[in-house]
Structure 1
């Protein structure tokens, strides 16, 4: 993909997978940036993704801890509702969410209007719940005897032990929203902007056709989008792998 983004003339042969100094250029990135404000688009994606990750981690940890460690009336029903959310296709919720955010709350054309519908992630709640269930109950009982409250238990005892789950939730959450926001806002009342309210990947694939090298321009846009996700995975790789291996260990 990187080599293809730097090719002046597309080379579909096997040799095209290797860089050819005579066929290298940076014009594909310039062509994409001239048609799409990449800096603005990536900044919007970063703000949107950061807000979603913040909500996912905070509410995921709190809800997962409550469902796994605390005993309270209605815990089983609440957990069943979390599982039920998993089987509801998001497409069924798109129109009600749009009406609620844009009309009822008046948050169209704003970052908050984009972030709120994704602020709580039921998948993250399940991930944290399963990890908290693996922690020995005696750790929490000993801390309570020493006078620790539930929030101190969560911060000093539970969270350090579920770091792989925390980083895994951040990585999995980042991949989705990072590709969902561009310019202008997805939630907008302006009819002229609504046709452009698509993900960055879809928008780049559409406008790439207007360049002199559509293949190279599309690859350049893909590299810009994939770069942060790949870097994040490399940074968190050992935690992500340890989480995957730990799920297959009996006991």
Structure 2
């Protein structure tokens, strides 16, 4: 590339980065303003207009720590179910030989095109009325415990592993769970982290299902509590704009930190070379 092309590429990437990051910057700045300023000038506020009172104001109304805890429990339960069932089903589809394997994988692909909203009413009747799990963490987690995307990801990773590894372990007397735990899982560690990163943001930001299944405020994730605040309380707040942005900043914070810390794991690795080493 010529020098001009390199400079042009750098300028374009810089503009794209600024356009992408500006909403996050504006959210933080807006959450710290004493008086709301929704204009472009509000992105560069007077230091005298900076305060942390908006975080205190919204915390007094919805308890940010309890909302974060509920979001963490909900998300953690979903991640646990996703990893356990995803690994087991993905391993069965990729490594084991059994009748109906192809049909099962086709069904996993078919689930991808079915909107969750289409299943929400029967799920609500099943979980709230039949199982009695309304206002319960388990009731929030169950519909998301099995993730077909995770199953597909694990299947593809397991297919890349040499079958000779599994056959050698079986010859040595290892059972399937031992083969999975000692041989397969260490070699698909990038898939574990990728699935966690891809799955985390879904339940963390999920609003509709927790809103339907929980009526008790003390059990609602932060996304639901923040939506209730905007609908019912924000109009009476001294600075509803700033308080709402403060809640949004708290909700977005863990996701941003997670992706910054683990972004390198999105880069695909050559499993074959790792096996040879």
TM-score, normalised relative to structure 2? 0.78
Larger helix share, 1 or 2: 2
Match of 1:57 in 2: 83
Identify unmatched segments of 5+ residues in structure 1: 247-251
* 3-state SS of paired residue (2:213): coil
Deviation for aligned residue 1:50: 1.0
| Count of paired positions | 240
- Partner Cα distance (1:23, 1:147) in 2: 70
Are the equivalent residues in 1 in contact too, given 2:111–2:148 (CA < 8 A)? yes
Change (3 A) 1:18 1:159: farther
Distance 2:199 2:193 in 1: 10
Q: Deviations over 1:39-87 (max 9, x none)?
A: 2222111111111111000000100111111111110011111111111
After superposition, the Cα gap between the structure-2 partners of 1:151 and 1:25, relative to the gap in structure 1 and judged at 3 Å, is: same
| Residue 74 (structure 1) aligns with | 100
Q: Secondary structure at the match of 1:87?
A: coil
The more displaced of 49-58 and 154-163 is 154-163
Question: TM-score, normalization: structure 1?
Answer: 0.86
Q: Which residue of 1 aligns with 2:242?
A: 216
Match of 1:144 among 166, 170, 181: 170
Query: Aligned Cα RMSD in Å?
Result: 2.6
Q: Deviation per CA, 1:3-48, whole angstroms, max 9, x where unpaired? A: 2211112344555334642111011111211221222222111111
Distance, in Å, in 1 between the alignment partners of 2:249 and 2:30 is 10
**What residue in structure 2 maps to residue 249 of structure 1?**
none
| Partner in structure 2 of residue 202 of structure 1 | 227
Q: Is the 8 A contact 2:62 2:225 kept in 1?
A: no
**CA positional deviation for 1:181:** 6.1
| Whole-angstrom CA distance in 1 between matches of 2:128 and 2:51 | 43
Residues of 1 paired with 2:62 and 2:129: CA distance? 29
Is 1:157 the equivalent of 2:187? Answer: no
* Higher mean displacement: 73-82 or 168-177: 168-177
